[in-house]
Amino acid sequence: MSGCDSQKPECSKDNISTTSIDEGLPRELSQLSLSSTSSQDEFYCDKGHSDSTLKNIYQYFQAQKLCDVALIAGGCRIPAHKVMLASCSEYFAAMFTGSLREAQLTEITLERVDSQALQALVRYCYTGTIELREETVEVLLSTASLLQLNSVTDACCAFLKKQLDPCNCLGIALFAEQQSCMNLHKSALEYTYQHFMQVVKHQEFLSLQADQLANLLKSDDLNVVTEENVFESLMTWVQHDSPNRESHLPTLLKLIKLPLLSSEYLIDKVELACGNVPECQSLIMEAVKWHLLPERRSFLFSHRTRPRTSTIGRLLAIGGMDGYKGASNMEMYDPRTNTWTPFMRMGARRLQFGVAVMQNKLIVVGGRDGLKTLNTVECFDLTSLSWSTLAPMNTHRHGLGVAVLGDGPNSPVYAVGGHDGWIYLNSVERWDACSRSWSVVAPMAGARSTCGVAALRGRLLAVGGRDGGACLRSVESYDPATDRWTNCAPMTRRRGGVSVCAAGGYLYALGGHEAPANTVGGRLACVERYDPVADSWVLLARLSYGRDAIGSCLLGDRIVAVGGYDGVQYLCVVEMYDSEANCWRKLAPLTTGRAGAAVVAVPPPRNLF
């Protein structure tokens, strides 16, 4: 060896490894690396370190030691540590770490800040706990919102949600809006809408400003039994301070859906209370025209003719095919909650039957029980929730169409066409509620089954269907005054298993099939509308799925299409037609897929809903 070599230090493998790792690295990283290569080293973690450190800092805060800032509010001086405040509050973080003048100050005055709320919030920064009390929570929330202590703000909002009551929900909604707590604001408004009938009995409602009341009255989500409740709440508010509030009556009366009040109520109540105000007379006349000129309602349509969600009633989907032996149950749809729930069962299993609604009663007509075609008729009382039997039809019918012609309590029910188990029928029967019997009226020009039947402008329309051969495009109209059927303009498409619904002076035809019903494919998604004045059809927005045997009816002023059969499966899909946007919007699906269900709108009796 050379002399130079003999002077080199002797290096072990560990030494070489340590040198290569340590070179250019922080000491902490080299130590961690060493600990990973030796079983004798370990990484120590004190799980109580954070808690004990915070506890010690809190003790310094209590003893007012090492404090580097004092917050002053309402004459109260609160010493604290900048690092603690900045760690918890974005407001203080921006103040102490930025270029603001306060970053260098040791005393900071906070204007218009409640001293007790500030003390509680500073203490929260050290402890993570704070007491929420009903009498101080609003001051605490507003102060926490100012200081951007978001966790405290959220806790205060959650606390106030639990305190919502008909006597305070309006105040909480207003306060939440002022503090930009939009989730709380939304919850308070939803609570107000849901409990509107109780809210109007409390002082907060009577103390509303005119613009605040207007925002409330314009909502279609108010949970009321009838529009009369809304009008009466407006008059209660006006009469609470008549000299100063009567001037707001014309503006606020525009938000009441006067056309949806009964004609008797318009004359006896509205005219009496508001008729002497000139600006209100045109609104009252608009409502009177709605009642006197039903054929012109499509031209009188406005937000005042659109019912509130709670007053449009509920949907019932009754029976139909469900992929097994046929459904004998009912489902009920609540538009306020957008949910379907199981309801009653039918008295007996029926398929391809018809249903009409009369005075809180369901009239279930004909159909088949899986083996034979029926002529039996049942009545379900929505008030007593009981079934009874009515006189049978003269003819056994399934695949028939059923409709009520008129709005009175004794309006006749018509059973149109269908199949008697042997042949397709063109015969028509009428139920007389006074004599409680069925009589035969003029037959249609042609036989048709699985057709759509609806009442439109005082007449019956029978649309499409099958006559034993091809599906039909033809449409016939029945005039009860002359007891005659006449032909109308045919649809643009042949439609068997078609569903029809009258709305706004028009007739809508939904879905159906062009090919034989037992073949896959050929189901229609197209929708068309019939104008009886022009005697013409136009195509509208398509359904989301091609299907036949759809259940449809008018809920409020919107058509709802329920279920159906696409050639493969029975569908749960439910859609509502938006006539203004000409599109179909999805609603909550059925709990059970079904086709050929009778779908009707029923009023919301108080003892039922």
Residue with tokens 């057709």: 451
User: Which pLDDT tens digit goes with each residue over 241-254?
Assistant: 999 999 999 999 99
The letter for the amino acid at 314 is: R
Q: What local confidence, expressed as pLDDT, does residue 22 receive?
A: 42
Q: What local confidence, expressed as pLDDT, does residue 156 receive?
A: 96
Put the strands of the sheet holding 574-578 in their side by side order. 551-555, 558-562, 574-578, 583-586
- 475-484: list long-range contacts, CB under 8 Å, 24+ apart: 475/530, 476/444, 476/445, 476/446, 477/532, 478/414, 478/428, 478/441, 478/442, 478/444, 480/405, 480/412, 480/441, 483/441, 483/442, 484/442
Closest CA to 545 of 493, 584, 596, 587: 584
**How many Å apart are CA 126 and CA 152, to the nearest integer?**
13
Q: What local confidence, expressed as pLDDT, does residue 17 receive?
A: 37
Q: What local confidence, expressed as pLDDT, does residue 325 receive?
A: 67
Q: What local confidence, expressed as pLDDT, does residue 15 receive?
A: 38
The CA–CA distances, whole Å, from 485 to 196, 224, 246, 428, 459 equal 49, 42, 55, 11, 10
Burial state string for 391-410 with b = 16 or more CB within 10 A and e = fewer than 16:
eebebbbbbbbbbbbeeeee
How many other β-carbons are positioned within 10 Å of the β-carbon of residue 228? 17
CB-count burial class (<10 Å; 0-12, 13-18, 19+) for 431: buried
Highest mean pLDDT among 30-34, 383-387, 482-486, 518-522: 482-486
Mean pLDDT of 223-233: 94
Closest CA to 511 of 475, 471, 460, 561: 561
Mean pLDDT of 452-465: 95
CB-count burial class (<10 Å; 0-12, 13-18, 19+) for 517: middle
Give 521 or 598, the one with higher predicted confidence: 598
**How many Å apart are CA 384 and CA 511, to the nearest integer?**
35
269 secondary structure, DSSP code: I
**How many Å apart are CA 202 and CA 103, to the nearest integer?**
49
Highest mean pLDDT among 253-257, 288-292, 326-330, 369-373: 253-257
Mean pLDDT of 504-523: 82
CATH number of 211-305: 1.25.40.420
The pLDDT > 70 percentage for the chain reads 90
Where are the strands (E) in 157-219, listed by range? none
pTM, full prediction: 0.75
Can you give the residue ranges of every domain in the chain?
49-163, 211-305, 312-602
CATH number of 312-602: 2.120.10.80
User: Which pLDDT tens digit goes with each residue over 244-282?
Assistant: 999 999 999 999 999 999 989 999 999 999 988 888 999
270 secondary structure, DSSP code: I
> What are the DSSP calls for 30-93, one per residue?
HHHHHHHH-TT------TTHHHHHHHHHHHHHHHT-S--EEEEETTEEEEE-HHHHHHH-HHHH
Q: Indicate the pLDDT class of residue 470, thresholds 50, 70 and 90.
A: confident
Instruction: Report residue 312: phi and psi, to 5°.
Output: -85, -5
Q: What local confidence, expressed as pLDDT, does residue 102 receive?
A: 77
**How many Å apart are CA 317 and CA 564, to the nearest integer?**
12
Helix, strand, or coil here: 205?
helix
Angle (CA) 283-289-294 rounded to 5° is 140
Q: Indicate the pLDDT class of residue 169, thresholds 50, 70 and 90.
A: very high
Looking at 32-36, 154-158, 464-468, 561-565, which range is the least confident one? 32-36
Give 312 or 359, the one with higher predicted confidence: 312
- Tally of residues, the chain: 609
**How many Å apart are CA 279 and CA 318, to the nearest integer?**
47
Looking at 15-19, 199-203, 346-350, 560-564, which range is the least confident one? 15-19
Closest CA to 529 of 549, 545, 552: 552
Looking at 31-40, 186-195, 476-485, which range is the least confident one? 31-40
Q: What local confidence, expressed as pLDDT, does residue 48 receive?
A: 85
Closest CA to 522 of 466, 567, 561, 580: 567
CATH class of 49-163: alpha beta
Q: Is the pLDDT assigned to residue 26 strictly greater than 50? A: no
Residue with tokens 């009496």: 272
Q: Indicate the pLDDT class of residue 516, thresholds 50, 70 and 90.
A: low
Q: What local confidence, expressed as pLDDT, does residue 24 receive?
A: 45
Residue with tokens 């949806």: 260
Q: Is the pLDDT assigned to residue 527 strictly greater than 60? A: yes
User: Which pLDDT tens digit goes with each residue over 331-361?
Assistant: 999 998 899 999 888 877 888 999 999 888 8
**How many Å apart are CA 261 and CA 159, to the nearest integer?**
40
305 secondary structure, DSSP code: G
User: Which pLDDT tens digit goes with each residue over 360-386?
Assistant: 889 999 999 878 999 999 999 888 888
Mean pLDDT of 444-453: 96
Strand partners, 453: 462
User: Which pLDDT tens digit goes with each residue over 569-586?
Assistant: 999 999 999 988 999 999
Q: What local confidence, expressed as pLDDT, does residue 494 receive?
A: 94
Q: Indicate the pLDDT class of residue 291, thresholds 50, 70 and 90.
A: confident
Q: Is the pLDDT assigned to residue 426 strictly greater than 90? A: yes
Mean pLDDT of 32-36: 44
For residue 419, what is the enclosing H or E element?
strand 413-419
Mean pLDDT of 469-485: 95
Burial state string for 294-307 with b = 16 or more CB within 10 A and e = fewer than 16:
eeebeeebeebbbb
102 secondary structure, DSSP code: G
**How many Å apart are CA 499 and CA 528, to the nearest integer?**
11
Q: What local confidence, expressed as pLDDT, does residue 241 receive?
A: 95
Tokens matching residue 373? 């075609």
CB-count burial class (<10 Å; 0-12, 13-18, 19+) for 205: buried
The pLDDT > 90 percentage for the chain reads 65
User: Which pLDDT tens digit goes with each residue over 80-135?
Assistant: 999 999 999 999 999 988 887 878 888 889 988 999 999 999 999 999 999 999 99
Mean pLDDT of the chain, nearest integer: 88
